[in-house]
Structures are given as C-alpha cells and as structure tokens.
Amino acid sequence: MAFSISHYATNSKLATGKWVKIKVTNTGVHEITAEELSAMGFSNISNVRIYGSGGQLISEVLNGDAPDDLVKVPVWRNANKICFYAKGPLKFKLDDSRTSKP
C-alpha cells in the first residue's frame, strides 16, 4: 500500500534547529533541568521543545495511523526545568479471551 505525496510532511522537523535525543525508560512525568539543558548546549529554556513518537514501536502495517514526522509533546516549564509526560518503550496488552476445551 502506498500513500499519496500529500500524506507526507513537506519538511521534516529534524531538518532545522539543534536536536538531542532523550531516552525515556518508563511511562510517567519526566523532567529536564535547566542545568541539564545547558550541558546539552541550550542557553534559553523557553526555546526548548520536546518532540516524540509516543514511546511505542510503530506498526509495520501501513494503515496511515502513524504520524509522518515527530509529534510535539505538551510541556510544563518554569525557569528551572521542563516537565513532560512520555510513554516508555514497553506496552502490555491484556488478552482476556477464553477458550473452552471440549
């Protein structure tokens, strides 16, 4: 299955700006301090944005549900830190279907 060209972003968000990768190991609220951002090379905390892909593996099935580019993550910030919610890489799905043995 192929998508039309209009399905894809014209330019990737990764094409411009300064980018660093943040590892998220568990689901929950995470914080990045101003000191950590400074060590990463960011001088102004108000210019920092968080982007992600939702934490879970992207499906191998092309059904159009997966975003074409990184998605902006809502953040709470003050002068000392940025807080954001992110999902970790593990996902558990309960299958409560039952099979009767004859």
Sorting pLDDT into bands at 50, 70 and 90, what band is 48?
Answer: very high
Sorting pLDDT into bands at 50, 70 and 90, what band is 66?
Answer: low
Q: Which range, of 30-34, 58-62, 86-90, 91-95, averages the lowest pLDDT?
A: 58-62
Using a 10 angstrom Cβ sphere, with 0-12 exposed, 13-18 middle and 19 or more buried, the burial of residue 59 is exposed
Question: Mapping DSSP to helix (H, G, I), strand (E, B) and coil, where does residue 4 land?
Answer: coil
Global model pTM greater than 0.75: no
| HEC readout, 9-49 | CCCCHHHCCCCCCCCCCCCEEEEEEHHHHHHCCCCCHHHCC
Question: Mapping DSSP to helix (H, G, I), strand (E, B) and coil, where does residue 73 land?
Answer: strand
